[in-house]
Amino acid sequence: METRVTVLGHVVRGGRPTAFDRLLGSRFGNVAVRALLAGEHRKMVSWLPPMDLPDGVGTRSKDDPYCYLVDLPAVLAATKQLLEGQSPLARWRASAFDDLEDVFLL
């Protein structure tokens, strides 16, 4: 039996993984495994969040200064907000695109 791995992000993006993709995957894996070994559970590894994390939601990794460990319930709540268009980040992006609509129509 032959098995292969397909990384959906690469398929959707339309390209092969870059060196950065491979490096990022290795760094995330390193932080995730070390967190598990330290007894951290129900966490997601993130790369420099786009906004400040609320107090108590996540912490910077001790093993990689660019990675954060974010509580899974907070990730799921933020995902729900994004899907419902209620996220401050989603609202900001929509507003930015509305402001630039005339430029994109060129």
DSSP letters spanning 29-63: HHHHHHHHHTT--SEEEEES-SSPPPTTTEEE-SS
Phi, psi of 55 (to 5 degrees): -55, 135
| Inside any domain, residue 2 | no
Residue 24, class by beta-carbon neighbours within 10 Å (0-12 exposed, 13-18 middle, 19+ buried)? middle
What is the number of structural domains in the chain? 1
| Inside any domain, residue 20 | yes
pLDDT tens digits, residue range 30-60?
999 999 999 999 999 998 765 667 777 788 8
Quote the pLDDT of residue 94.
85
Quote the pLDDT of residue 92.
87
Sheet with 43-47: strands ordered across = 43-47, 67-71, 58-60
Q: Provide the residue range defining the domain that includes 42.
A: 8-104
pTM of the complete model: 0.66
Give the CA angle between residues 78, 84, 90 to the nearest 5°: 65
| Inside any domain, residue 3 | no
| Inside any domain, residue 1 | no
